[in-house]
Amino acid sequence: MIGISSEFGTKWLTRLHARAFQVCAGAVLAVVALGVAAPSVWAAASPWIDQEQARLRLLAAADTAGAEDTISLGLHFKLEPGWKVYWRSPGDAGYPPQIDWAESQNLAAAEMEWPVPHRFSLFGLQTFGYGDEVVFPIAARPIRPGQAVALRAKVEYLTCNEICIPREAVLALNLPAGSGEPTADGFLIDTFRLRVPGKGPAQGLEIEKAVLTGTLAAPVVEVTARSDRPFESPDVLIEAPPGFSFAAPEISFAEARSRAVLRVAATAAGGGVLEGKRITLTLTDGRRGSERPVVARYAASAAARTGGGPVDVGTFAVILGLAILGGLILNLMPCVLPVLSIKLLSVVKHGGRAPAAVRVSFLASSAGIIASFLVLAGGAILVKSLGLAVGWGIQFQQPLFLTAMAVVVILFACNLFGFYEFGLPRWAQGTATLGQARGGAPREPTLTEHFMTGALATLLATPCSAPFLGTAIGFALARGPLEILSIFAALGLGLALPYLVIAAVPALATRLPRPGPWMVTLRRVLGLALVATAVWLLSVLSAQVGLGGAVAAGALLGALILVVWMGRARDSRSRATAIATPALAGILALATIALPAGLTPQAVTAIAAPQKGDEIWQAFDQAEISRRVAQGEIVIVDVTADWCLTCQVNKKLVLDRDPVNSRIAGEGVTAMRRDWTLPSDEISAYLEGFGRYGIPFDAVYGPGAPGGIALPELLTSEAVLKAFEQAGGG
């Protein structure tokens, strides 16, 4: 045993206490120094905004703006027990948090991400959102990276329990320039960013397939999912165009719960068809999520191969009848006015002719109309099979189509002016012509020319819809190839009915005055009408490629007219001129058609923004519609395009005139307008939600009609005001 003296022990303890004091004091000083030297490690967030049901603040992952192109932010909510805020697609009711960054400085854009939500069921309504605590990750892009950013976020959100209360809060956060340090809140932002559904198996979840089962009237979305570990509580959230709602899924498991089949019953307001619609599936399991956009299709069965769920013969016969009626009414729509000259000439030029010749020529024009509709049907089938957006009149969204049609129209006009006679080669004219006029009269058109006249009339008549036509097109494009071909053929038959009537009763045309000098004057007048059609096509082109591109196309067309005019006198031309004139005309025509292909992508993209109306109308925002309706407002949506003449007529005669204009400008009404001059998946999906594939389209929403009331293609003041009354709950 070893002994220690009392004196030595006392000195040793004293030194130990002193040493411990020095260590503790040093630690305290270090903590204080750390707090003074780097306070931003602990705080780069706005102050909490305390409201009755929620607290919220704005977070930053670093204490400075840094030098990167993107700044990591977060919108942080802490909610009282039982209260929730909504996901980006709230479900049957509600609206998601929205941020207005307009007062911020040095901020170009900010994109908010949505972590995996939870399903809430209340009073039979299915909604999706967040309780307790959530951080919405935000990727902010400064205008000038590396410089200070002043963030001002006006947040509008809805908190719900058994009642819903809309709230607003203004959050402010300044991030100085410089390369700073990460903040403690950066970890919190990253934690919730990891919960944002990935588009694939990144989080161990994968949507293998999704098909429709059930009937056309009562479809069921069947989702097959796989997990890299046993499922705990899987769910699937479905985002679809307006008018559709979905129940909670019925779930069955297989393979030790690593595979699940989720069946979701769907309902549609107003008899909408889910088949063929683009939907987004979000598979969740606790905090994990996987996202996948799909096109809703029926399972591979005999019924599916013909386009979806079963449809009885009587229903299909009714649709065919509506298609014929819609095609007939299309003859009276404003979109057909540009080709009125072609139709008028096709009638008046038959005065005094033999009935057999009249009958054959009008049958040829009818064949051209129906054949063109079948070509459109084939294009729709091809586009749909590729999973792309398909719609009525969408060819007018393509600048190359516009320039090609402008060239064709100008060539028709030059023919009416008498600058040239277009016909088949001489070896073919013996079987194709209807007879050569004598005494220097203009040559009679060939059957091919009559056929092409009908085809041109069809192509120029498709920019807009007509009563009954929208119903038939919507049914066809939601089905398979057989239905599409049948219904498009019926539409062509309806448009060709006036021609077929004259073919059946040639006396309607032969009793007109015989062609004479008056016919030359009429041809020139109708030629000017076609030139006006070309000018209209160029005006649509200017909205797509800019005024400069349209002016250049117009200059090329002017040169084409000049070249054809200079070579009009066949007998006075030299052989060289006879060869050079069509060659130069062909070069000018090809240059005009190809002109849009030479434009830079920026020139086309720059005009893709929503069309601006007067001060009453604002840009279309589908998410905003639900929020406005939840506040008791009425919302009217107008989808238009520069190439839709009926849209312009609706605006001039109804929307922009009293009493409708005064009602739209009144208290509690929001007017939204979206331009479809260029392709837009957003607008295509929106129209599909109402079973529509063409414009004009207008809808009215309100507390009495949260799913929207689709208005007829041709608007009347009475129809619009009646929809306002119904949407308002009156």
Q: Where are the beta strands (DSSP E) in 20-148?
A: 49-50, 54-60, 71-79, 84-91, 98-100, 109-112, 118-122, 125-131, 133-141
Residue 445 reports pLDDT greater than 70: no
Model confidence pLDDT, tens digit, residues 593-618: 888 876 654 443 333 334 444 578 98
Decide if 524 contacts 416 (C-beta within 8 A): yes
Q: Is there a single domain that holds both residue 131 and residue 163? A: yes
Which DSSP state fits 310?
-
Higher pLDDT, residue 351 or 584 = 584
Residue 270 reports pLDDT greater than 90: no
> Look-up: residue for tokens 């002043």?
150
Residue 305 reports pLDDT greater than 50: no
Residue 184 reports pLDDT greater than 90: no
Higher pLDDT, residue 645 or 137 = 137
Higher pLDDT, residue 151 or 429 = 151
How buried is 539 (Cβ within 10 angstroms: 0-12 exposed, 13-18 middle, 19+ buried)?
A: middle
pLDDT of residue 54: 95
Total domains in the fold of the chain: 4
Average pLDDT over residues 625-646: 84
- Portion of the chain with pLDDT greater than 90, in percent: 29
Average pLDDT over residues 515-529: 74
Q: Which two tokens stand for residue 563?
A: 């070249």
Q: How confident is the model at residue 135 (pLDDT cuts 50, 70, 90)?
A: very high
Which of 253, 288, 305 is the endpoint of a domain? Answer: 305
pLDDT of residue 610: 41
Q: Please indicate, yes or no, if residue 607 is contained in any of the structural domains.
A: no
pLDDT of residue 542: 81
**Other residues' Cβ atoms within 10 Å of the Cβ of residue 20:** 10
Q: How far is CA 570 from CA 420, 423, 513, 560, 679, in A?
A: 9, 14, 30, 17, 45
Q: Is there a single domain that holds both residue 258 and residue 338? A: no
Q: Is there a single domain that holds both residue 472 and residue 398? A: yes
Decide if 281 contacts 207 (C-beta within 8 A): yes
Which of 141, 176, 193 is the endpoint of a domain? Answer: 193
> Look-up: residue for tokens 């064949």?
367
Q: Please indicate, yes or no, if residue 557 is contained in any of the structural domains.
A: yes
Q: Is there a single domain that holds both residue 252 and residue 158? A: no
Range with top average pLDDT, 144-158, 458-472, 561-575: 144-158
Angle subtended at Cα 553 by Cα 547 and Cα 554, rounded to the nearest 5 degrees:
85
Q: Is there a single domain that holds both residue 92 and residue 142? A: yes
Q: How confident is the model at residue 61 (pLDDT cuts 50, 70, 90)?
A: very high
> Look-up: residue for tokens 């054959």?
360
Which DSSP state fits 325?
H
Q: Is there a single domain that holds both residue 212 and residue 166? A: no
Least confident of 25-39, 219-233, 418-432, 665-679: 25-39
What is the β-pairing status of strands 234-239 and 278-285? antiparallel
Decide if 333 contacts 466 (C-beta within 8 A): yes
The separation between the first and the last C-alpha atoms of the chain, rounded to the nearest angstrom, is: 103
pLDDT of residue 577: 65
Q: Is there a single domain that holds both residue 567 and residue 640? A: no
Q: Please indicate, yes or no, if residue 15 is contained in any of the structural domains.
A: no
Q: Please indicate, yes or no, if residue 554 is contained in any of the structural domains.
A: yes
pLDDT of residue 460: 66
Q: Is there a single domain that holds both residue 468 and residue 518? A: yes
Phi, psi of 429 (to 5 degrees): -70, -25
pLDDT of residue 434: 35
Q: How confident is the model at residue 722 (pLDDT cuts 50, 70, 90)?
A: very high
Average pLDDT over residues 709-721: 88
> What count of residues does the chain have?
730
**CATH at 675:** 3.40.30.10
Higher pLDDT, residue 96 or 294 = 96
Residue 69 reports pLDDT greater than 70: yes
Q: Is there a single domain that holds both residue 580 and residue 682? A: no
Q: Please indicate, yes or no, if residue 710 is contained in any of the structural domains.
A: yes
Q: Is there a single domain that holds both residue 263 and residue 329? A: no
Question: Nearest-CA neighbor of 552 among 511, 510, 597?
Answer: 597
Q: Please indicate, yes or no, if residue 235 is contained in any of the structural domains.
A: yes
Integer Cα distance of 44 and 59 in angstroms: 6
Average pLDDT over residues 560-577: 70
Phi, psi of 260 (to 5 degrees): -140, 145
Q: Please indicate, yes or no, if residue 665 is contained in any of the structural domains.
A: yes
pLDDT of residue 387: 57
Integer Cα distance of 694 and 392 in angstroms: 5
Residue 507 reports pLDDT greater than 90: no
Residue 334 reports pLDDT greater than 70: no
Q: Is there a single domain that holds both residue 467 and residue 536? A: yes
Range of the domain at 379: 313-601
- Portion of the chain with pLDDT greater than 70, in percent: 75
Beta bridge partners of 469: none
Which DSSP state fits 10?
H
Q: H helices then E strands: how many in the chain?
A: 21, 24
Residue 20 reports pLDDT greater than 50: no
Which of 245, 272, 305 is the endpoint of a domain? Answer: 305
Q: For 588-620, what is the HEC assignment?
A: HHHHHHHHHHHCCHHHHHCCCCCCCCCCCEEEC
Residue 338 reports pLDDT greater than 50: yes
Q: Please indicate, yes or no, if residue 595 is contained in any of the structural domains.
A: yes
Average pLDDT over residues 332-353: 62
> 213-247: buried (b, 16+ CB within 10 Å) or exposed (e) per residue?
ebebeebbbbbebbbeeebeebbbbbbbbbbbbbe
Q: Mean pLDDT of all residues in the chain?
A: 78
Residue 466 reports pLDDT greater than 70: no
pTM across the whole model: 0.49
Residue 148 reports pLDDT greater than 80: yes
**CATH at 293:** 2.60.40.10
Integer Cα distance of 117 and 136 in angstroms: 11
Q: Is there a single domain that holds both residue 125 and residue 256? A: no
Average pLDDT over residues 329-345: 64
Decide if 135 contacts 191 (C-beta within 8 A): yes
